[in-house]
Amino acid sequence: MRFTRTSKMLSVAALAALSLSACGGGSSESGTTSGTTGSTDAVIVVDGSEPQNPLIPTSTNEVGGGEILDLIFAGLVSYDADGKPQNEMAESIETEDAQNYTIKLKEGKTFSNGDPVTASSFVNAWNYGAAAKNAQLASYFFESIEGYDEASAEGSTVETMSGLTVVDDTTFTVKLSQPESDWPLRLGYSAFFPLPDSALEDPAAFGENPIGNGPYKFASEGAWQHNQQIELVPNEEYEGPQAAQNAGVTFKIYQNDTTAYQDLISDNLDVLKTIPTSDIKNFKNDLGERSIESPYAGNQTIAIPYYLPNWDGEAGKLRRQALSMAINRDEITEVIFNNGRTPAKDFTAPVLDGYDENLPGSENLEYNPDEAKKLWAEAEKLEPYDESQPLTIGYNADKGDHKTWVEAVVNNIKNNLGIEISGKPYATFKEARTEATEETLTGALRAGWQADYPSLYNFLGPIYATGAGSNDARYSNPEFDQQLTDGLAASSVEEGNEAMNKAQEQLLEDLPAIPLWYQVAQGGWSNNVDNVEFGWNGVPLYYAITGK
Amino acid sequence: MVWYIVRRFLQLIPVFLGATLLVYFLVFSLPGDATAAICGERGCTPAVVAGLREQYNLDQPFWIQYLLYLKGVLTFDLGTNFSGRPIATIIAEVFPTTAKLAIMALVIEAVFGIVFGLIAGLRKGRIFDSSVLVLSLIVIAVPIFVLGFLMQFLIGVKLQWTNPTVSGDATFTELLLPAVVLGLVSFAYVLRLTRTSIIENVNADYVRTATAKGLSRRRVVVVHVLRNSLIPVVTFLGADLGALMGGAIVTEGIFNVNGVGNTLYRAVLNGDGPMVVSIVTFLILIFCLANLLVDLLYAWLDPRIRYA
- Which of A:49-78 have CB within 8 Å of B? 50-54, 61-62
Q: Is B48 on the interface with A (CB under 8 A)?
A: yes
Residue of B159, B165, B275 best to disrupt the A interface, most CBs of A under 10 A? B165
Please judge whether A255 and B47 are an interchain contact, meaning their C-beta atoms are less than 8 angstroms apart.
Answer: no
- What does the pLDDT average to over A114-126? 96
| Amino acid B308: pLDDT | 58
Please judge whether A433 and B90 are an interchain contact, meaning their C-beta atoms are less than 8 angstroms apart.
Answer: no
Residue of A255, A256, A264, A438 best to disrupt the B interface, most CBs of B under 10 A? A255
Work out the burial of residue A381: count CB atoms within 10 Å of its CB; fewer than 13 is exposed, 13-18 middle, 19 or more buried: exposed
Q: Where are the alpha helices (DSSP H) in A60-189?
A: 63-72, 119-130, 148-152
Query: How many CB atoms are located within 10 Å of the residue A365 CB?
Result: 25
Distance CA A456, CA B61 (A): 43
User: CA triplet B8, B14, B17: central angle to 5 degrees?
Assistant: 135
Q: What is the pLDDT of residues A442-470, one digit of tens each?
A: 999 999 898 999 999 999 999 999 988 88
Please judge whether A255 and B253 are an interchain contact, meaning their C-beta atoms are less than 8 angstroms apart.
Answer: yes
Query: How many CB atoms are located within 10 Å of the residue A434 CB?
Result: 21
- What does the pLDDT average to over A40-60? 92
Chain A residues whose CB is inside 8 A of the B93 CB are 226-227
**How many whole angstroms from its chain centre is CA B154?**
26
**How many whole angstroms from its chain centre is CA A305?**
24
Chain A residues whose CB is inside 8 A of the B36 CB are 429-431, 433-434, 437
| Amino acid B222: pLDDT | 87
Q: Which residue has the higher pLDDT, B308 or A87?
A: A87
Q: What is the pLDDT of residues A171-183, one digit of tens each?
A: 999 999 999 888 9
3-state secondary structure of A139: helix
**Residue in chain B lying closest to A155 (CA):** B47
| Amino acid A31: pLDDT | 36
Chain A residues whose CB is inside 8 A of the B58 CB are none
| Amino acid B295: pLDDT | 84
Name the band, by pLDDT with cuts 50, 70 and 90, for residue A340: confident
Name the band, by pLDDT with cuts 50, 70 and 90, for residue A9: very low
| Amino acid A184: pLDDT | 92
| Amino acid B49: pLDDT | 87
For residue B217, how many C-alpha atoms fall within 13 Å in the half-sphere facing its CB?
A: 1
Residue type, B238: G
Residue of B45, B52, B161 best to disrupt the A interface, most CBs of A under 10 A? B45
Option in A136, A228, A432 nearest B168 (CB): A228
Q: Is A467 on the interface with B (CB under 8 A)?
A: no
DSSP secondary structure code for residue A308 in this structure: S
Residue of B27, B29, B33, B48 best to disrupt the A interface, most CBs of A under 10 A? B48
Q: Is B86 on the interface with A (CB under 8 A)?
A: no
Option in A50, A207, A430 nearest B34 (CB): A430
Residue A10 pLDDT greater than 60, yes or no: no
Chain B residues whose CB is inside 8 A of the A230 CB are none
Comparing A59-63, A76-80, A350-354, B195-199, which segment has the lowest mean pLDDT? A59-63
Please judge whether B163 and A430 are an interchain contact, meaning their C-beta atoms are less than 8 angstroms apart.
Answer: no
Give the CA-trace dihedral at B28, B29, B33, B34, to 10 degrees. -30
Chain A residues whose CB is inside 8 A of the B255 CB are 259
Beta-carbon contacts below 8 Å between A and B = 153
Whether the CB-CB separation of A310 and A420 falls below 8 Å is answered with: no
Q: Is B260 on the interface with A (CB under 8 A)?
A: no
Work out the burial of residue B270: count CB atoms within 10 Å of its CB; fewer than 13 is exposed, 13-18 middle, 19 or more buried: buried
Question: From start to end of chain B, where are the E strands?
Answer: none
Name the band, by pLDDT with cuts 50, 70 and 90, for residue A273: very high
Q: What is the pLDDT of residues A407-422, one digit of tens each?
A: 999 999 999 999 999 9
Q: Is B26 on the interface with A (CB under 8 A)?
A: no
Q: What is the pLDDT of residues A485-530, one digit of tens each?
A: 999 888 788 889 999 999 999 999 999 999 999 999 999 999 999 9
| Amino acid B247: pLDDT | 67
Q: What is the pLDDT of residues A88-109, one digit of tens each?
A: 999 999 999 889 999 999 999 9
* DSSP labels, A392-436: EEEEESSSS--HHHHHHHHHHHHHHH---EEEEEESSHHHHHHHH
- What does the pLDDT average to over A3-31? 36
Q: Is A448 on the interface with B (CB under 8 A)?
A: yes
pTM attached to this predicted model: 0.86
- Which of B:271-290 have CB within 8 Å of A? 271
| Amino acid B39: pLDDT | 83
Name the band, by pLDDT with cuts 50, 70 and 90, for residue A36: low
Please judge whether B43 and A433 are an interchain contact, meaning their C-beta atoms are less than 8 angstroms apart.
Answer: yes
Q: Which residue has the higher pLDDT, B224 or A344?
A: A344
Chain A residues whose CB is inside 8 A of the B48 CB are 132, 135-137, 139
**How many whole angstroms from its chain centre is CA B16?**
18
Work out the burial of residue B296: count CB atoms within 10 Å of its CB; fewer than 13 is exposed, 13-18 middle, 19 or more buried: middle
Give percent above pLDDT 70 in chain A: 93
Query: Whose CA is closest to A396, among B37, B53, B266?
Result: B37
Distance CA A68, CA A47 (A): 11
Comparing A74-78, A142-146, A281-285, which segment has the lowest mean pLDDT? A281-285
A73 vs A83, A157, A542, B117, B134, CA distance in Å? 17, 28, 14, 60, 59
Distance CA A411, CA A409 (A): 5
Q: Is B210 on the interface with A (CB under 8 A)?
A: no
Name the band, by pLDDT with cuts 50, 70 and 90, for residue A28: very low
Q: Which residue has the higher pLDDT, A89 or A437?
A: A89
Chain A residues whose CB is inside 8 A of the B273 CB are none
The bridge status of strand A546-547 relative to strand A421-426 is unpaired
| Amino acid A397: pLDDT | 86
Chain B residues whose CB is inside 8 A of the A137 CB are 38-40, 44, 48
Please judge whether A434 and B164 are an interchain contact, meaning their C-beta atoms are less than 8 angstroms apart.
Answer: no
Please judge whether A259 and B48 are an interchain contact, meaning their C-beta atoms are less than 8 angstroms apart.
Answer: no
Please judge whether A154 and B153 are an interchain contact, meaning their C-beta atoms are less than 8 angstroms apart.
Answer: no
Please judge whether A470 and B43 are an interchain contact, meaning their C-beta atoms are less than 8 angstroms apart.
Answer: yes
Residue A32 pLDDT greater than 60, yes or no: no
Chain B residues whose CB is inside 8 A of the A265 CB are 157
Question: What angle do the packed helices A403-417 and A369-382 form, to 10 degrees?
Answer: 70
Question: From start to end of A229-345, where are the E strands?
Answer: 229-234, 248-253, 271-272, 291-303, 341-343
Q: Is A255 on the interface with B (CB under 8 A)?
A: yes
Query: Whose CA is closest to B175, among B116, B244, B276, B267?
Result: B244
Name the band, by pLDDT with cuts 50, 70 and 90, for residue A219: very high
3-state secondary structure of A85: strand
Please judge whether B32 and A132 are an interchain contact, meaning their C-beta atoms are less than 8 angstroms apart.
Answer: no
Q: Is A222 on the interface with B (CB under 8 A)?
A: no
Distance CA A432, CA B307 (A): 54
B243 vs A301, B108, B291, CA distance in Å? 42, 15, 11
- What does the pLDDT average to over A50-77? 92
Å between B135 CA and nearest CA of chain A:
27
- What does the pLDDT average to over A199-204? 92
Please judge whether B32 and A449 are an interchain contact, meaning their C-beta atoms are less than 8 angstroms apart.
Answer: no
**Residue in chain B lying closest to A224 (CA):** B168
Instruction: Check residue A166 and give left, alpha or beta (phi > 0: left; psi -120 to 50: alpha).
Output: beta
Query: Whose CA is closest to B248, among B206, B218, B283, B294?
Result: B283
Please judge whether B83 and A53 are an interchain contact, meaning their C-beta atoms are less than 8 angstroms apart.
Answer: yes
- Give me chain A's average pLDDT, please: 89
Distance CA B161, CA A270 (A): 19
Query: Whose CA is closest to A225, among A263, A203, A251?
Result: A251
**pLDDT by 10s per residue, chain B, length 308:** 788 888 888 888 898 888 889 988 888 888 778 888 888 777 788 888 888 888 888 888 888 888 888 888 888 888 888 888 899 999 999 999 999 999 999 999 999 999 999 999 999 999 999 999 999 999 999 988 899 999 999 998 888 888 888 887 888 888 999 999 999 989 999 999 999 999 999 888 988 999 999 989 889 988 889 988 888 898 899 888 888 887 688 899 899 999 999 899 888 877 788 888 888 888 888 888 888 888 888 888 877 777 75
One-letter-per-residue 3-state SS of B205-251: HHHHHHHHCCCCHHHHHHHHHHHHHHHHHHHHHHHHHHHHHCCCHHH
